[in-house]
Amino acid sequence: MQGDTIASIGRGLLVLIAVGRDDEAEDAAYVVDKTVNLRVFPDAEGRFDRSALKERADLLVVSQFTLYADTRRGRRPSFTDAAPPEQAGAIFADVVERFGGIGLRVETGVFQEMMDVSLVNDGPVTIWVDSAERHRSRRA
């Protein structure tokens, strides 16, 4: 498997999924819905006005627990807020299944494996979607 291409997509989104200790099915549903409906693709005038759904975009979904790195103390990141592999694997599989159920082409990496992921970024756009945000007031 080493050196083999596991997955690749055309025009679409690279979706890095980090699962936290407190995450559950509702978090998976939120992230999937928000991701496919965010208007991050340009319209004819170049404005962000089209979603992955409207564009029929491909999705490359990769598990990335290191997004939970806590670097507030010391020089070594802590990953204590990341879900343990059993929990993270189940939620990651749920996310992938939900994306697939929408009808977009979905490819994945291999859960809990070292992978070299290449990205050709069409523009300077990286968006963070955090399911915990749905519980916070926009006015705060």
For the chain, the straight-line distance linking the first and the last C-alpha, in angstroms and rounded, comes to 48
Clarify whether 2 is annotated catalytic.
Answer: no
Q: Say which of 35, 64, 92, 99 is annotated catalytic.
A: 64
- Is residue 124 within 8 Å of residue 130, measured between CB atoms? no
Q: Say which of 35, 41, 65, 99 is annotated catalytic.
A: 65
Q: Say which of 2, 5, 35, 66 is annotated catalytic.
A: 66
- Dihedral sign, CA of 96, 99, 101, 105? negative
CA distance 92 to 110: 11
Clarify whether 48 is annotated catalytic.
Answer: no
Q: What are the residue ranges of helices labelled H in 18-120?
A: 25-37, 52-55, 85-102
Residues with catalytic function: 64-66
